[in-house]
Amino acid sequence: MDRLAELFEQLPLPAVGRILRRTAISALVVGVAALAIAIGVSHPFVGLGACIGLGLGLGNIRLITGSVAKVSASGTEHPRRVLAVKTLYRLSLTTLVVIGLLFASVQLGFGTAGGIAVFYLLLLVNLVRVLLQHGAAGVGA
């Protein structure tokens, strides 16, 4: 986790914005495609769950950026502890939502879990793409 934080610190701010923007657009495209395919194969709840999962992933990333900005601006004595507690709350809430949807409908719950996984895969792909564009030597530039 520390290495990932160091990696994001080395990226210029416009690059981080570009990663988040591309991930959000990719998630929207994948969500629409998943819903269309799921309806086409008569499993609409899986597609709906995928859209919910993609939305949860996007919401989580937005909350992370907001939390980091608030903690950085406040000058908290132990910022890692504060961020860790907030992350634990967010992950707990996300897990409860997925489990609740799983009890409501197995297709909806598994679609949601898959949507979250796909969202973070999209985030990783977009991160690697920006890193390759900047090159190993030019990341801090």
pLDDT in tens, 72-81: 788 777 778 8
- Range 50-62 average pLDDT: 93
Question: Is residue 4 predicted with pLDDT exceeding 70?
Answer: no
Distance CA 56, CA 59 (A): 5
Distance CA 53, CA 39 (A): 17
Q: Is 139 among the domain residues?
A: no
% of the chain at pLDDT higher than 90:
54
Structurally, the chain folds into a number of domains equal to 1
Q: Is 9 among the domain residues?
A: no
Q: Provide the token pair at 135.
A: 């090159």
Q: Is 130 among the domain residues?
A: yes
pLDDT confidence of residue 11: 72
Q: pLDDT tens for residues 102-140?
A: 999 999 999 999 999 999 999 999 988 888 887 654 544
Question: Is residue 70 predicted with pLDDT exceeding 60?
Answer: yes
Distance CA 119, CA 49 (A): 13
18-to-7, 21, 24, 110, 120 alpha-carbon distances in Å: 15, 5, 10, 30, 15
Q: Is 10 among the domain residues?
A: no
Q: Is 3 among the domain residues?
A: no
- What is the pTM (predicted TM-score) of this model? 0.83
Q: Is 2 among the domain residues?
A: no
Question: Is residue 59 predicted with pLDDT exceeding 60?
Answer: yes
Q: Is 96 among the domain residues?
A: yes
pLDDT confidence of residue 42: 94
Domain with 49, as residue range(s), is 16-134
